[in-house]
C-alpha cells in the first residue's frame, strides 16, 4: 500500500508543479502585451482628402457641409452620435461616388453645448464607416450669437422704366 501512495503523491507534486509553471508562463506572456505604446503609436487628425468643410449658423440650426477630393464612403457624425447612427446627427453618403455630405441639425439636438448665446459641437469625419483610423478628422463648430453681425445685401432690381437699379444695404442680425 505504501508503494502505491508514494508514486501517486509524486504524480500530484509533478502536476502541481507543471500547472504553476503554466501560470507563470501565462503571466509573463500577459505582461508582454501590457506595455504602454502611447509614445510610439500615434493617431492624429488629418485634413488629407478634405477639400472643404463649411459651417452655416442659422438662427436655430447648424448646417455642416463636407466636400472631399475623391468619392467618400465613410461617415460624418457629431461626437456621441456614432452608436445610434440616426439622422440628423449621423450621415452617410447617398451614393458610392458622392463627394459631398451635408448635416443639418437644430441647436438643441446632437449634443450641442450651449453657453449663453454660444453654441458648440464637434463633428467627426470618419473614412471607414465602422472603424476610427489614422486620417480621420474632428472639427470644433461654434455658432456665436453674442455679438451682432453685419450682413451686406446686394441685389439688382429692375424698375418700371426698365433701368436696372443696384440696391445695397447693411443689416445687423442678432438671434432672438
| Per-residue pLDDT tens listing for the chain (176 residues) | 334 443 333 334 334 444 445 555 555 544 544 555 445 544 455 667 788 888 899 889 999 998 888 988 899 999 998 989 889 999 998 888 888 889 999 999 999 999 999 999 999 888 888 888 888 888 888 888 887 766 555 555 555 555 554 454 444 444 44
50-144, superfamily in CATH? Zona pellucida, ZP-N domain (2.60.40.3210)
pLDDT at 152: 58
Q: What is the pTM for the complete model shown?
A: 0.60
Residue with cell 449663453: 116
- The set of residues, in sequence order, having a beta carbon less than 8 Å from that of 143 and lying 6+ positions away, is 55, 57, 62, 107, 118, 119, 120
Grid cell at residue 112: 450641442
| Beta bridge pairs of residue 55 | 64
Do 48 and 69 contact (CB within 8 A), yes or no? no
Amino acid at each position: 500500500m505504501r508503494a502505491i501512495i508514494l508514486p501517486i503523491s509524486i504524480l500530484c507534486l509533478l502536476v502541481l508543479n507543471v500547472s504553476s509553471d503554466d501560470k507563470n508562463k501565462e503571466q509573463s506572456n500577459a505582461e508582454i502585451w501590457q506595455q504602454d505604446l502611447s509614445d510610439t503609436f500615434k493617431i492624429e487628425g488629418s485634413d488629407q482628402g478634405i477639400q472643404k468643410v463649411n459651417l452655416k449658423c442659422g438662427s436655430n440650426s447648424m448646417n455642416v457641409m463636407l466636400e472631399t477630393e475623391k468619392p467618400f464612403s465613410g461617415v460624418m457624425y457629431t461626437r456621441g452620435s456614432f452608436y445610434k447612427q440616426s439622422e440628423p446627427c449621423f450621415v452617410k453618403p447617398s451614393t458610392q461616388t458622392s463627394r459631398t455630405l451635408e448635416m443639418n441639425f437644430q441647436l438643441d439636438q446632437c449634443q450641442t453645448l450651449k453657453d449663453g448665446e454660444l453654441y458648440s459641437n464637434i463633428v467627426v469625419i470618419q473614412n471607414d464607416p465602422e472603424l476610427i483610423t489614422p486620417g480621420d478628422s474632428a472639427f470644433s463648430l461654434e455658432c456665436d450669437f453674442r455679438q451682432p453681425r453685419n450682413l451686406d445685401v446686394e441685389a439688382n432690381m429692375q424698375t418700371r422704366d426698365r433701368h436696372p437699379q443696384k440696391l445695397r444695404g447693411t443689416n445687423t442680425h442678432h438671434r432672438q
